[in-house]
Amino acid sequence: MQIGSQTLAPLVRKLSLHAPLSQEDQAALLALPHAVRNLELGQYILREGDVPTHSCLVVSGFAIRHKITGNGGRQIVNIHLSGDMVDLQNSLLTTADHNVQALSRMSAAFLPREAIVELGFSRPAVGKALWLETLVEGSISREWITNVGRRDAQTRVAHLLCEFAYRLDAVGIGPECNYELPMTQEQLADSVGLTPVHVNRTLKALDAAGLTKRSRKSVVITDLQKLAETGDFRSTYLHLPPHALPKHHQ
Amino acid sequence: MQIGSQTLAPLVRKLSLHAPLSQEDQAALLALPHAVRNLELGQYILREGDVPTHSCLVVSGFAIRHKITGNGGRQIVNIHLSGDMVDLQNSLLTTADHNVQALSRMSAAFLPREAIVELGFSRPAVGKALWLETLVEGSISREWITNVGRRDAQTRVAHLLCEFAYRLDAVGIGPECNYELPMTQEQLADSVGLTPVHVNRTLKALDAAGLTKRSRKSVVITDLQKLAETGDFRSTYLHLPPHALPKHHQ
DNA sequence: CGTGTTTTTGACTTCAGTCAATTAAAGTGG
DNA sequence: CCACTTTAATTGACTGAAGTCAAAAACACG
């Protein structure tokens, strides 16, 4: 258990995105008690039915949240990047209603729930920032419902790829609009409610159209502008501060 | 603008569901400044792009939140019952990324956003209750993603109907497991990502199987137990307190 | 190098969408 | 209370996007 290191810097970075935090607020965040763990690809951070005591911050790498349906289908409901608090969702709920799993090798910081909640209420600026994070996540969820419910395969996949581009850019990963996505086609499929086979064909089409370039287990976006058109993507729902947006997309 | 009436009672009821609120907290909630408005069926409460200044509490009736895709499709991303705060979602976000519309004639209370936020931080119990509401909504959104992304038509529709049953029961509307749902088939379709025509056929099938009984613009659930099986429905994700669940489903 | 993923491809199936016409309410105004 | 309009539900025939199955190819890694 560490106190006061710089491990939590990505959290401060993320929370300051919308409204600046005072030095004291930042210090208080960095001083949160936490334990860092390195997780292997595929390792579960939380399983449906668990009663979590800690929230988890993604320090590096990727994590997904997913649900399993009665007939064995899997639906990924969220993907978390560096700086994301994966488990604020469960911070006040007793029983986890979904699974959280490492999408890659990753490093995560585990923070006791009460410490976070306490800090949120003792420092309103921090509390608001945390709340805002939750709200943005809700917004993303709504967009995902729309994506999966009302868009065709091509559009869906393109949309997801765009979301990634913007979110990765916002946390400062990846050069310009040329991003790499370390997801298998099966995982992409589970994110957009399609089969892996169909995702494969869809990616091939995007590739042929010159919007992406693929290699194994990853996708590179070559033309974000056109991809956004194809994907019916407008970034408003991400509620990113203006300066964080890729330039050519104001 | 009223102060201190009983109009906000449904809010207190809802927020007390998980953890009891002290008399003072309840009084503070009831004392929130607010304006009551009666809305016609179909009237917009908020449009995408608006910058809201007030949050809206559903006093009676139903409201929906929906998004419109580039090709004109509509996806309903949430349905709100009496006692729901429709717009906490936007309370800290500047620009609304979706529409809110009255599903029926309804009565709504509009509360200034700052008043709510302030109260949330000055009274941690209230703040936690509000936060919890937000989290439960997030949980429902995740289930919707799953529903739309990984379940077939029959299951999807059955699942939605079950969710209604439980949520209506939790706020004390409707006798036992015999509920009426004032939604058109088109609205149902937009909630589960299907076409109205297919929803019609699906409802017909559920009817034939003896799980529901339909009349115009409404559905009555006759066998909640079986409907839950058909709909791959387990109520955990609603995070309802135990006592609020229909008995036969513990 | 062999073993296990992940990706790719092709042939075939199916669930849900589309189109279009019909029926049944629910209002509405005279 | 009745014609008249409108909105919602229903039905049937046909289409099509995405799923299924199964096998082959391409990597990644020990």
Chain A residues within an 8 Å CB radius of B78:
142
Mean residue pLDDT of chain A comes to 89
| Rounded Cα distance, B150 and B146, in Å | 6
Is residue B242 within 8 angstroms of chain A, CB to CB?
no
| pLDDT above 60 for A17 | yes
Question: What confidence score (pLDDT) does residue B214 get?
Answer: 87
Question: What confidence score (pLDDT) does residue B177 get?
Answer: 67
Comparing A124 with A248, which gets the higher pLDDT?
A: A124
Give the tokens for residue A236.
């408003």
Is-contact A88 A55, C-beta < 8 A? Answer: yes
- What mean pLDDT do residues A47-62 have? 90
- Per residue in B62-94, pLDDT (tens digit) is 999 999 999 999 999 999 998 899 877 676 777
Q: Which H or E run contains A44?
A: strand A44-46
| pLDDT above 80 for B172 | no
Strand D–CB B207 distance below 7 A: no
The nt closest to B202 (CA vs C1′) is C16
Question: What confidence score (pLDDT) does residue B215 get?
Answer: 82
Which residue is nearest to the C1' sugar atom of D26, using CA?
A216
Query: In CATH, what number does B151-244 get?
Result: 1.10.10.10
Chain A residues within an 8 Å CB radius of B75:
145-146, 149-150
Strand D–CB B186 distance below 7 A: yes
Is residue B154 within 8 angstroms of chain A, CB to CB?
no
- What mean pLDDT do residues B208-224 have? 88
> How long a stretch of residues is chain B?
250
| Rounded Cα distance, A190 and A59, in Å | 24
Question: What confidence score (pLDDT) does residue B249 get?
Answer: 47
Question: What confidence score (pLDDT) does residue A91 get?
Answer: 64
**Beta-sheet strands, E only, within chain B:** 35-39, 44-46, 54-60, 63-68, 74-80, 99-102, 106-112, 180-181, 212-215, 218-221
Chain B residues within an 8 Å CB radius of A70:
155, 232
> For A135, which of B92, B149, B155 is closest by C-beta distance?
B92
- What mean pLDDT do residues A100-122 have? 92
Which chain A residue lies closest to B96 (C-alpha atoms)? A237
> How long a stretch of residues is chain A?
250
How close does chain A come to B67, measured CA to CA in Å? Answer: 7
Å between CA of A67 and C1' of D16? 30
| Rounded Cα distance, B103 and B44, in Å | 10
Comparing A249 with A232, which gets the higher pLDDT?
A: A232
3-state DSSP helix/strand/coil percent for chain A, to nearest 5? 45, 20, 35
**Class for the domain spanning A6-139:** mainly beta
Question: What confidence score (pLDDT) does residue A70 get?
Answer: 95
- What mean pLDDT do residues A52-78 have? 94
How close does chain A come to B119, measured CA to CA in Å? Answer: 11
Q: Which of A 25-44 have CB under 7 A of nucleic chain D?
A: none
Q: Which residues contact A207 (CB under 8 A, 6 or more apart)?
A: A213, A214
Q: Which H or E run contains A114?
A: helix A113-122
| pLDDT-based confidence at residue A244 (cuts at 50, 70, 90) | low
Question: What confidence score (pLDDT) does residue A161 get?
Answer: 95
pTM (whole model) above 0.75: yes
* Percent of chain A whose predicted confidence (pLDDT) is above 70: 91
Contact A149 B192 (CB under 8 A): yes
Q: Where are the domains of chain A?
A: 6-139, 151-244
Is residue A121 within 8 angstroms of chain B, CB to CB?
yes
Å between CA of A61 and C1' of C4? 24
Question: What confidence score (pLDDT) does residue A55 get?
Answer: 92
| pLDDT-based confidence at residue B250 (cuts at 50, 70, 90) | very low
Question: What confidence score (pLDDT) does residue B195 get?
Answer: 98
Is residue B91 within 8 angstroms of chain A, CB to CB?
yes
Comparing B165 with A248, which gets the higher pLDDT?
A: B165
Contact B145 A144 (CB under 8 A): yes
Chain A residues within an 8 Å CB radius of B141:
138, 141-142, 144-145
Question: What confidence score (pLDDT) does residue A250 get?
Answer: 40
- Per residue in B98-135, pLDDT (tens digit) is 999 998 889 999 999 999 999 999 999 999 999 999 99
Å between CA of A41 and C1' of C2? 24
